[in-house]
Amino acid sequence: MSDVRRRRVLGGLAALCGGLLMGRRTLARERWSVYFDDTFPPYNFRDGDRFSGMDLEIVQAILGRIGVDWEFRTLPWPRVLAALDRGDADVVVQMVGVPARFERYLMVGPFRTGQTVLAVPKESRLVFSGLDSLHGRTVGTVRGFLYTPDFDAARGFTREESVSVAQSLRKLVTGGVDAVVGDRVALAWVARREGLGDRIRFLPTVLAEVPRYIALPRGREEKAARLAQGLEMIRQDGTLARIIARWRDEV
C-alpha cells in the first residue's frame, strides 16, 4: 500500500472513530449530583453499603422520568446547605419550605408533607397547650434543621442540638432532654430501629403540617422546570403515592 493510500485509509478511520465518539457523547445521559444528609431515616439514610429512603426513591423516580442519571453525595446537613450555596449541588433533598429558602434557592414541590410533633418519655407528665408549655424545658433538635417558624423563633426553653435524630432520641430516654421535636414518621422509624419505641410517646398536638421540597441553586431554572415536570408525571400516574404509602406502612 502506497504512503498516500495509507494516509487516506488512516484518515478515514480517524474520522469514523471521531464520529462514533461524537455519537456516543450525544447519546450519553446527563448526570446530576444529589446531595443529602444520610442520617434522616426513613427519608434518606445509609442501609448497609447502599443509600435508601423514601425521598431518595422519589428523586430517583423523578430523574428517571426526565432521562437524567444521578450521583448521590452525602454530607452532614450544614455542609449540604453549604454545597447548595456554592452551586456544587444540582439537587438537595429535602427542604422545609420556609420563606427565606424560597428567596435563596429554587424550590420544587412540595412532593410530600410531614407532621412536626413532640416526642416525650413514656412516663412524662408534660401537657402541651402551646409553645409556652415548654418554658424552662430542654428540647432536643438536630443541628441545621428547621422545624416551624413559631418553634424556630420561640424563646423561653433550651435547645439541645444533636447530629442526628437517633442521638436526639437517645438523649430523650436517658433524661438529657425533656422532649424532642421532629417529623413524626422519622421519629417513630428511628425509635423502632433503636429499640426505643416502647420508651417514648408522641404528644397529640401537631405543631405543623410541613411541606417538603427539592432545592436547586439559583440560576438553574431550566433544571428546576424539568424537575417540576418529572414530579408532576409521577404524581399523575400514582408512582409518588405508591412510594410514600409503602414506606409509611413500615413505620
Over residues 162-196, the pLDDT tens digits come to 998 999 999 999 999 999 999 999 999 999 989 99
Distance from C-alpha of 91 to C-alpha of 54, rounded to nearest angstrom: 16
Going from the C-alpha of 237 to that of each of 44, 62, 65, 249, the distances in angstroms are 23, 12, 11, 20
Instruction: Please return the burial class of 246, using the count of CB atoms within 10 Å of its CB with bins 0-12, 13-18 and 19+.
Output: exposed
User: What pLDDT score does 87 carry?
Assistant: 95
Residues listed for the chain: 251
- The CATH number that domain 29-113+211-248 falls under is 3.40.190.10
Spatial distance between the Cα atoms of 53 and 139, rounded to a whole number of angstroms: 26
The CATH number that domain 114-209 falls under is: 3.40.190.10
Do 29-113+211-248 and 114-209 have matching folds?
Answer: yes
Residue ranges per structural domain of the chain: 29-113+211-248, 114-209
pLDDT digits (tens, 9 = 90+) for 59-85: 999 999 999 999 999 999 889 999 999
Residue 170: how many CB atoms within 10 A of its CB? 18
In this prediction, residue 36 carries a pLDDT of 95
pTM: 0.75
- Cβ neighbourhood burial of 105 (10 Å; 0-12, 13-18, 19+): buried
pLDDT at 85: 96
Record the cell numbers describing residue 20, joined without a space: 462514533
| Antiparallel, parallel or unpaired: β 138-142 and 68-74 | unpaired
